[in-house]
Every structure is written in C-alpha cells, then in structure tokens.
Amino acid sequence: MARKLIAGNWKMNGLSRGAATLAEALAKRAQDAGPLGWDPLICPPTTLLGSVGQALKGSAIALGGQDCHPARSGAHTGDISAEMLADAGCRYAIVGHSERRADHGEDDTLVRSKAEAATAAGLVPIVCVGETAAQREAGKALRVIEAQLTGSLPRPGRGTVDGAGLVVAYEPVWAIGTGQTATPADVAQVHGHIRGLLAQLLGGAGAAKAVRILYGGSVKPGNAAELLAVADVDGALVGGASLDAEDFWAIGARAG
Ligand code: PGA
C-alpha cells in the first residue's frame, strides 16, 4: 500500500513571522518523530516559499506550490512558472484547485497545461477535481468529476504515465472550508470511480494504483482517521487545519 500523502494547503494565509513559527514547529515535530510512516507536504503562498523551505530543509516535510503558469517563463506579470517552483525547492504543485477554477475562471484545458508544465519541470502535479453542491444534488457528481479528470490530466506523452508522478485530489466544493465532509460511503464511491478512470486514462491498473488519490474538504484531526481508512484514499489535502502545527501533525499521525 502506498504511503499516505498529507498535504497542507495554506492558501492565501501567512505573513513572514507567523509562517516561520509554524514551519519551525512542523520541522521540530518531524525531527522528534523520527522515521515517519506517511509523507508530509506543505504548500505555502509563494512569498513564503523561501523562508518556509529554509525552515523545512533537511526535514521529512516536502515543499509545494499552490499553482503554476503553463509557460516556462515570459511576459506573464504576476505569475509563477513550474520551473520557478522547482528552483525554490518545491517537489509538488497543486493545479486546478476549485478556488482557482472559481476565482480565476480556470477551465480543464488550462489546468491540463499547468499539470503538463509541472511535470516538465520535474514536479508532481496535484490535480484537483470536485463537484459543487448543486451538481451533487442533481446526481451529476460522478459525471462532473469524470469530465474534469479526463480534461485536466497531462496528455499521454506530456506527463508521467507510471502514476507515481501524479497525485489527484478529490475535493467536493461544498466541503471546502465549510466543516461539512462527504460521507465515507460517498468518498469510497468517488475514489473508486477515479481509480477506474485512471486505469483507462493511464493505460492500466498498475499505473492507476501508483497514483495517490487525496480527499480534501474540512479534514480535521477528529475526522481524519475515518476518512483515511476509506478504500482508495491515499492521503488528504488539508486547508484550514494545516495552519495549526498540532492539528496538521495529528492528521498525519492518523495516516501512518
Ligand atoms: P479545508 O480546505 O481543509 O479548509 O476545507 C481544503 C482545500 O481546499 O484544500
């Protein structure tokens, strides 16, 4: 069974002083814990990649970006390329988070080009998919997720085909930051569906099995054990609770 990946997405939170305290607290926990049975990842805002990366250096905690531009470099004011993230010490890049899809109108085609750029830069893309409340109520959740996944993954030849270089995050939009979580039965259904789709898209069950599929949406220390025990849940993408070292580490402890 794959080691679970617990990814902390700080979103647009954190100023230098508080972030240093948080990153140092996490690094200390990693050091005190010794060898871990799970993989921790922190994705701070871009302004903090340098300082957080410095605090986490030499620890078991990996660094990731929250987004990247499809191009390697060029005239794209305000954007950050995947190569820049790699240069800053990142190993992962979140792409297609529902907040970016909503705030910036990102569609599957753009998300796919970002995932391909991440792969080309040697990063592991964390490709996010998830339905809205209205889509779930209309019975369309699986269809929406299927379309997002099919449209957002790197095309064959443009991305990793062995599965180990890819992470998918299922985040029901209605569960993000709301305190509501999908039921374990719903999570099992969606994750199983994603695994099946990955087998088709990546050309086999072996490749699909190597992809880590994360659940995200109001994961907390109190519900992490139940969610992480669901079949085909290979980790969690954690927003709010990742801003507290104790909570983030408690979630990780449930993962391994
Ligand atoms: P949340 O966010 O844990 O605060 O719900 C999850 C996410 O959006 O990645």
145-196 residue pLDDT tens: 999 999 999 987 766 657 789 999 999 999 999 999 999 999 999 999 999 9
Give the model's pLDDT for residue 156. 75
Is there a contact between 203 and 41 (Cβ–Cβ < 8 Å)? no
Residue-wise pLDDT tens digits, 188-223: 999 999 999 999 999 899 999 999 999 999 999 999
Burial code (b: 16+ CB inside 10 Å, e: under 16) for 172-193 equals bbbbbeeeebbebebbebbbeb
Three-state secondary structure call for residue 57: coil
**Structure tokens, 249:** 């580490």
Give catalytic status of residue 171 as yes or no: yes
Instruction: Tell me what pLDDT residue 164 has.
Output: 81
Residue in 69, 116, 171, 193 annotated catalytic? 171
Output the DSSP codes for 197-226: HHHHHHTSHHHHHHSEEEEESS--HHHHHH
Q: Measured from the CB, is residue 9 less than 6 Å from ligand 1?
A: yes
247 lines ligand 1 (CB under 6 A): no
Q: Ligand 1 centre from 74 Cα, in Å? A: 31
Annotation says 97 is catalytic: yes
pTM to 2 decimal places: 0.97
Q: How far does residue 189's CA lie from ligand 1's centre (Å)?
A: 20
Q: Are 20 and 51 in contact (CB under 8 A)?
A: yes
Closest-CA residue to 246 (of 29, 10, 11) = 29
**Which helix (H) or strand (E) element contains residue 6?**
strand 4-9
